Structure 1
Amino acid sequence: MKKVITLLFLTLFGITQAQQAFKGKGDIKVNVGANIQDGGSGIQGSVDFGLAENFSYGFVGSYLLGVNEFSGFYNGSETPYNNVKPDFKDRFDAKFRINANIGNVFNVDEKLDIYPGLSLGLKNFGGHVGGRYLFTEGFGVFTELGFPIAKYSDDNDMFDHLNNQFTFSLGASFNL
């Protein structure tokens, strides 16, 4: 409980001590980093374009490089699988997304941008919550948590879960 209270205090302190990195219309942010999830890890890249004071749209793509192989019987099948790896279509995902850039709502550090949003992708409809901190005018770090809301598949494919689960991403952010 002590750790939870300390974490909440640090989070609230960080939020109250800042303003915002997102400039609104015409702002362009590019993120490149690692994608970490159950069953694999890979790379993620995204670009966001400012439309208004607190609204942006963009695109995100991810590709899983390290993916666990599957061996055994899948979904009650009598056919055994040995060291099966996912195809390109199972490893890749692309999404269109919208963000609510709310750093200024919390009145946080001008170098911090907080953005929840929704995404419509090749594999699912989902959401994300992210943040980026710019050390200079053009460079910083980002982190994002992504999650599916509605999956497009019926989970009959051995690797459907790869792009239909909770993900964690972190990496470098660039202000163009």
Structure 2
Amino acid sequence: MKKIIVLLVFISFGAANAQQAFKGKGDAKINIGANLQDGGSGIQASADFGLGENFSYGFVATYLLGVDEFSGIYGDNTYFEAKPEFQDRFDAKFRINANLSSVIGVEQLDIYPGLSLGLHNFGGHLGGRYFFTEGFGVFTELGFPIAKYSNDKEVFDHLNNQVTFSLGASFNLD
């Protein structure tokens, strides 16, 4: 019961002190968090910059820290405890977002669908940010590939060409 009361107090405090999540032109946000996906987990960092009332552009980079080794036959090759190299673990993307906080009428919550063009694919994402104070909030994001740049001929091509889930902290820079 004490845990439920503490949780309710935390939610009430957060809702009462929540700040505007997206301000439009000139807005700048940084997100830092965990990236979770099949076959590995890592970190994600992104930056978004407001261009208009409901439009922003940005950059996102991910690096997989924990990746499953592979032993077996893949294509015409046999692998034994193969580990991915840097280019298999790293991805960087340019992205555009449609920031919908003013459209849905909740200033503290920014829902942002968008498209991204990266080193490994062209994809989309759906994310959300909620700010507790003027400078700090939380984010979550779901990313997915639309068009891949490879034919899956390498054993670790799938690492940056699949659905990913990210969550972490968001910071206001303006």
Short-chain TM bin: 0.7 to 0.9
Indicate yes or no: 2:102 matched with 1:101.
no
Indicate yes or no: 2:38 matched with 1:41.
no
Aligned residue number for residue 140 of structure 1: 137
- What residue identity is the alignment partner of 2:45? G
Q: How does 1:56-71 map to 2 (within 5 A)?
A: 56-71=56-71
- What residue identity is the alignment partner of 1:83? E
CA distance in 1, matches of 2:28, 2:52: 12
CA distance in 1, matches of 2:28, 2:78: 49
Indicate yes or no: 2:170 matched with 1:173.
yes
- What residue identity is the alignment partner of 1:167? T
The 4+ residue runs of structure 1 with deviation greater than 3 A are: none
3-state DSSP of counterpart to 1:34? strand
Identical counterparts, % of pairs: 78
Indicate yes or no: 2:116 matched with 1:119.
yes
The answer (yes or no) to whether the contact 1:101–1:116 under 8 Å persists in 2 is yes
CA distance in 1, matches of 2:149, 2:79: 25
CA distance in 1, matches of 2:129, 2:91: 22
Q: How does 1:127-166 map to 2 (within 5 A)?
A: 127-166=124-163
3-state DSSP of counterpart to 1:29? strand
- What residue identity is the alignment partner of 1:40? G
- The runs of 5 or more residues in structure 1 that have no matched partner are 1-17
CA distance in 1, matches of 2:111, 2:20: 8
3-state DSSP of counterpart to 1:21? coil
How far residue 80 of structure 1 moved from its aligned partner, in angstroms, is: 2.6
- The runs of 5 or more residues in structure 2 that have no matched partner are 1-17
Aligned residue number for residue 89 of structure 1: 87
CA distance in 2, matches of 1:99, 1:113: 11
How far residue 103 of structure 1 moved from its aligned partner, in angstroms, is: 1.3
The answer (yes or no) to whether the contact 1:20–1:111 under 8 Å persists in 2 is yes
TM-score, normalization by structure 2:
0.87
TM-score, normalization by structure 1:
0.86
